[in-house]
Amino acid sequence: MTNASAETKNDAPKRQRERIYKTAARLFAENSYGAVGVAELCAATGFGKGALYYHIGSKEELLFEVMTRYMVDLVEEGRRAAAEDATPAERISTLSRKLVRSVFDHLPEMTVCFRELNSLGPQNRAVVSKLHLDYQRIWEAALADGVAAGVFRPISSVELKGLLGMYFYSFLWIKPKGPQGPDAIADRYAEIVLRAVAPS
Amino acid sequence: MTNASAETKNDAPKRQRERIYKTAARLFAENSYGAVGVAELCAATGFGKGALYYHIGSKEELLFEVMTRYMVDLVEEGRRAAAEDATPAERISTLSRKLVRSVFDHLPEMTVCFRELNSLGPQNRAVVSKLHLDYQRIWEAALADGVAAGVFRPISSVELKGLLGMYFYSFLWIKPKGPQGPDAIADRYAEIVLRAVAPS
């Protein structure tokens, strides 16, 4: 068995889980976590109850995955962006594009994340909060580098939370097929951030 | 009967409704609209079922009131601010303070508003959307006046939505007894808005 075929073989469960997550995110967003039963998840994904539990563990585990996967990706992408050779303004631009693209790609996940935080147990909820804090730290580091380089003014945590809120709130009004694509919106928002941190 | 005593008499039902709204907002925010029954509302407000229905009409009507009252106030305050004699920058500052104060005063209402929009029927939901649009129009008018006066650059609707998102998203992290009061936060956010619209 070659590595390639081993990868293909291991990819099948991953793709199946992916399909379950996407379907669950859509169902939870359209209705609510509490209103969607395992039977409905089985019907929508085409899995039997046993196979579904094999893939997801439990319904709360599924909710947790829906709420965390896009944040894990954002944190990983943000850390990769931090390692790239770029000016502070270019890093803000990159973070901005990755964040708005993530909003475009994860509208149901974000809807669920903001609505169902209380449906998670305290341990899982703490992980979600930690991920959001880790993500905020990536922006803080990018802004701090700009301050160190003398090209940004320092801003407070409240101001950064506001600027990130500008992005995260957008899941409420972004239409994936709307007139403006993610990069166009991201570039406008990066400009707002850069104006906010421009030395006075 | 003097006018004063007539007012006092008419104020009693108003105060009682006010107490019901505040209690319902807290209960709906702590749990969820669906999980809070009329019996629980009666226990928490001290009203019997008949008296409660007399004051609120129906449970959905109560949810609708919780979700719209702070927005109605914001729109009214915003329209009053527009009528005041002030520079465009002062109007942004005033709108900013009124909005952040409203977030501080209505954390449960905003939690409910963002979580339970789908629990409203289509007509009530349309009213909520209309209120948010009316409120956005107030900021648009303030910004347009600044553009007309040559002190602001024009920004797109997507940029304004982002700036308003900065404010509305803050209900998720604002702590009413936190180190910074509403006006301090509002003044930082007004500065971000003014930097965003400063002529380039």
pLDDT tens column, B49-60 = 999 988 888 899
Contact B98, B81 (CB under 8 A): yes
Are residues B159 and A195, on separate chains, in Cβ contact within 8 Å?
no
Chain B neighbors of A168, CB-CB under 8 A: 165, 169
Q: Considering just the CA atoms, what is the radius of gyration of chain A in Å?
A: 19
The reply to whether B198 touches chain A by the CB within 8 Å rule is yes
Are residues A168 and B170, on separate chains, in Cβ contact within 8 Å?
no
pLDDT (0 to 100) of residue A9: 58
The reply to whether A186 touches chain B by the CB within 8 Å rule is no
The reply to whether A156 touches chain B by the CB within 8 Å rule is yes
Chain B neighbors of A165, CB-CB under 8 A: 165-170, 172
pTM of the model: 0.91
The reply to whether A158 touches chain B by the CB within 8 Å rule is yes
Contact B136, B161 (CB under 8 A): yes
- Looking at this predicted complex, what is its ipTM? 0.91
pLDDT (0 to 100) of residue B10: 67
**Residues above pLDDT 70, as percent of chain B:** 95
pLDDT (0 to 100) of residue B1: 43
Are residues A158 and B185, on separate chains, in Cβ contact within 8 Å?
yes
Q: What is the pLDDT along chain A (200 residues), one digit of tens a residue?
A: 445 445 455 678 788 888 899 999 999 999 889 889 999 999 999 999 999 988 888 899 999 999 999 999 999 999 999 999 999 999 999 999 999 999 999 999 999 998 888 889 999 999 999 999 999 999 999 999 999 999 999 999 999 999 999 999 999 999 989 899 999 999 999 999 999 999 98
Nearest-neighbour CA in chain B from A152: distance (Å): 14
pLDDT (0 to 100) of residue B9: 58
Of B166, B168, B195, the CB nearest to A195: B195
Each residue of B72-119: pLDDT tens digit?
Answer: 999 999 999 999 999 999 999 999 999 999 999 999 999 999 888 888
Model confidence band, residue B8 (pLDDT cutoffs 50, 70, 90) = low
Nearest-neighbour CA in chain B from A183: distance (Å): 12
**Residues above pLDDT 90, as percent of chain B:** 78
Is pLDDT at B162 greater than 60 in this prediction? yes
> How many CB pairs lie under 8 A apart between chains A and B?
80
pLDDT (0 to 100) of residue B2: 46
Is pLDDT at B3 greater than 80 in this prediction? no
